[in-house]
Structure 1
């Protein structure tokens, strides 16, 4: 009899779980004997689940000590548990969720940590010093892109303290039901994007002239109007313009003035309580919930203990774990707001004749995630253990410091845009399948959930949490390393790979309102 050459590596999250994931990079072949004496019934890829006991048809499948689904057929111990063998359970019933007014204990404060940031007149602090050119309508996007390229080549070399220029282009502004109730979402998003702390309170607006989203509506949305001089609002249809170069020259002239003011700024030592950090995952796999996301959660707790603001999002990727989040609400209002945002999104999906089963993606499934329940249970690990102190709708800005749930779609690009509008100045992005995702307005730290990805994409991934699965590091160790990297990146001392390569995604504003 041949000696088994490969040592099986299994990850069982909770002792009550009846499945575990295969951590071997090449997976495990049929007939492999596991440490518990079970033989694999079939070859199972890395990240996918194996049954640790015999399951009859209809039996509950448990991971994270939660039911992630029901066996659609009899599965002997050692069987491969994939999407076609798991029946999706019902989502937690929102009307049955009860808040018992026992929020988590406040974590002990953590003092003595700082970063070097840019202080703004409104009290916020940026991690970058950028000029933003915001737009009222997509019609002007081509002109703005041309002008941004001119600014980068001709003007920026004269302003060494300015990190760059960002065009806040979008697909909104006209051909839309501007007065529809849901139009508040894209309008406040665009309004708040211009107020991101990384833009130094300097706003340059470029519009066309005939659009529905007039500058007055863009600037005066929400409860905090943006007051800027009239000359910083440039409309391309203005009769004073004779040709394209006239438009370009006016924008360049105003940009030159704003760049001069931004160039007078420099980094200052700031307490970590001034940081606003977004936590997001994309291209997730079965390792996300046991390596990268828990490490992010540990770093989230450290930031909250320092008094910082931390946002986690992606409604459909917390919906099936909402019963675990409601007890973490700081008070009854926060619990009620959490449930309200879940209900709003349920209705939004129903109006589009779809539901939560549209998530996860094919890549998620290939990475071992059988359904949205399993994905949600791993996703919420990014939030750590702190009490949730506030819930904000898509594009809103928080009024509290601490752990915030920012209700956004799960789409990487939309979530990133909405978190930007909510004021994040840095983002941590975990991935198991890999993505070159980046945002020009803020640094994005990308963390791999498994070492195979980290090694293959060594010049795209900033941190590797896969060593947790290999037993080389603990969640706490990687979480501490991430916390330290966040401070270094926020201070401009360390540059992420996306920044080095200039890999930036376009903005994607969430628009649930009608298009006319």
Structure 2
């Protein structure tokens, strides 16, 4: 990548990206234009005149249409560019190619459970069936907090902690509806997650989401590693907290009897997220993460791309990579579901980007989606699953989720992700439990400003000091290190419990 004042992504683009703030009168000889007025870092400027109604192209793809005539060298943003619908050619499987697997797969130091599944962390979890039991669940987990009561886990160094994952749902919904089924699927995915050595499920007693209904739907089994009880049956909050503490104490010795050992990278399942994106996301951190994902897949691992509203307009690029027409059709069915979902809620699929995304240079959902898809790399799309469904295929998988990061990542972890990789250009603060989360910055200014939140800086790509492929190798090695137990920045800050946010689909009655 050149080190001039602007970045050209594709030869067919009629905009380039400002690497730094540009001032009027600055000549750009490589583009044959002169800057007209101020253009902020990460924002676009036209490389040729664009007439009103004509398409604007970035990444070689349409990102919207000009809402008025745009002169060469002029800032291109919300004042003169808007979302526009256009036909997208779907060619299922046209870009699918055989994956060249590594002859000597990489490994990481994982925790092998009795059933053969591999964990990257070793927690005891306290889940809730309903919001009404959240306070009791948190009190149980707080008893074992190392920052408050270090003696509580002093004898259990191999246990990463006791975490309460609470939510605001579980009642005031249809007892046989989709919302309850999805909530139970999410809780079931967490209860089975290999990063939990054992789990408590705490309820109130009279909620719609009855614990026995959860256990039945998800095929869970109560025993030494899964205990379930309710406040009403136990005799109130104090007795519930005391009972929960005693149950956790009984689980700790067995949970502590683990050791890490080398395991192949095929046991790594990485959820891909981007939040607080900017104009550099699709240039630096997202394609660098995509390069790491290509390595992960070649080493036998799995990556999960999600956030359906934030691939909208670029789904044709994913269906081209589908291994079959059936897989491509599953993705298009989810897009159609979202179009109907937003319509009945009097919303539109192009109500994105957010205010922060726009301040960082993103103008339309089409532009944001094209950059977001770069996280997935270039390998084949092998499966499409619904929210919180178990991911069983190995390779690049798509999970249908909302674009809201905590909700999306919650679905990915429920589906089996044992690591999250999260790119940000504006400085999103996020962590995840029980799976560690790596944060990747898109630009050097963010990393300098917020280094205590960022694990990997990809800003040198923007500056021309590192290639996307070099950064991808760094990220892949960091994935293996985090999976082996190296603490991420968000873990050191204590993020993770409040970021458990299941998808609330239906009406609250």
Shared topology, TM-score over 0.5? yes
**Secondary structure of the structure 2 residue equivalent to 1:69:** strand
Are the aligned partners of 1:110 and 1:305 in contact in 2 as well (CA < 8 Å)? no
C-alpha separation between the residues in 1 aligned to 2:239 and 2:271?
40
Deviation at 1:45, TM superposition (A): 0.3
Q: Provide Cα deviations, 1:224-257, integer angstroms capped at 9, x if missing partner.
A: x11122982121111x53x543222211111111
**Secondary structure of the structure 2 residue equivalent to 1:357:** coil
Partner of 2:52: 57
Deviation at 1:129, TM superposition (A): 0.4
Deviation at 1:102, TM superposition (A): 6.1
Partner of 1:212: 208
C-alpha separation between the residues in 2 aligned to 1:455 and 1:356?
34
Deviation at 1:221, TM superposition (A): 2.1
C-alpha separation between the residues in 2 aligned to 1:100 and 1:497?
39
Matches within 5 A, 1:120-199: 120-152=113-145, 153=149, 155-199=152-196
- 2:25 is aligned, of 23, 31, 34, to 31
- 2:489 is aligned, of 494, 497, 502, to 497
C-alpha separation between the residues in 2 aligned to 1:150 and 1:294?
42
- 2:252 is aligned, of 254, 259, 266, to 259
Matches within 5 A, 1:233-248: 233-238=228-233, 241=235, 243-248=236-241
Partner of 2:451: 458
Partner of 2:62: 67
Deviation at 1:178, TM superposition (A): 2.4
- 1:111 is aligned, of 65, 88, 104, to 104
Question: Taking structure 1 as reference, are residues 461 and 91 closer, same or farther at Cα in structure 2, changes over 3 Å only?
Answer: farther
> Which stretch of the first structure deviates more once superposed, 212-221 or 47-56?
212-221
Are the aligned partners of 2:93 and 2:324 in contact in 1 as well (CA < 8 Å)? no
> Which stretch of the first structure deviates more once superposed, 295-304 or 179-188?
179-188
Question: Taking structure 1 as reference, are residues 100 and 468 closer, same or farther at Cα in structure 2, changes over 3 Å only?
Answer: closer
- TM-score (normalizing by structure 2): 0.95
- TM-score (normalizing by structure 1): 0.94
Q: Compute the RMSD of aligned alpha carbons.
A: 1.7
C-alpha separation between the residues in 2 aligned to 1:100 and 1:364?
32
Question: Taking structure 1 as reference, are residues 299 and 248 closer, same or farther at Cα in structure 2, changes over 3 Å only?
Answer: same
Are the aligned partners of 1:393 and 1:406 in contact in 2 as well (CA < 8 Å)? yes
C-alpha separation between the residues in 1 aligned to 2:374 and 2:94?
22
Partner of 2:439: 446
C-alpha separation between the residues in 2 aligned to 1:371 and 1:411?
17
Q: Provide Cα deviations, 1:270-304, integer angstroms capped at 9, x if missing partner.
A: 11111111111000011111110000000001111
C-alpha separation between the residues in 2 aligned to 1:181 and 1:287?
38
Deviation at 1:175, TM superposition (A): 1.2
Is residue 9 from structure 1 mapped to residue 5 from structure 2 by the alignment?
yes
- 2:430 is aligned, of 423, 437, 440, to 437
> Which stretch of the first structure deviates more once superposed, 7-16 or 467-476?
7-16
Question: Taking structure 1 as reference, are residues 325 and 147 closer, same or farther at Cα in structure 2, changes over 3 Å only?
Answer: same
Deviation at 1:182, TM superposition (A): 4.3
C-alpha separation between the residues in 2 aligned to 1:346 and 1:133?
36
List, as ranges, runs of 4+ consecutive aligned residues in structure 1 with deviation greater than 4 Å: none
C-alpha separation between the residues in 2 aligned to 1:285 and 1:316?
17
Is residue 82 from structure 1 mapped to residue 77 from structure 2 by the alignment?
yes
Deviation at 1:388, TM superposition (A): 0.6
Q: How many residues align?
A: 500
Question: Taking structure 1 as reference, are residues 234 and 181 closer, same or farther at Cα in structure 2, changes over 3 Å only?
Answer: closer
- 1:479 is aligned, of 472, 481, 489, to 472
Deviation at 1:333, TM superposition (A): 1.3
Are the aligned partners of 2:65 and 2:82 in contact in 1 as well (CA < 8 Å)? yes
Partner of 1:346: 339
C-alpha separation between the residues in 2 aligned to 1:470 and 1:440?
34
Gaps of 5+ in 1: 1-6
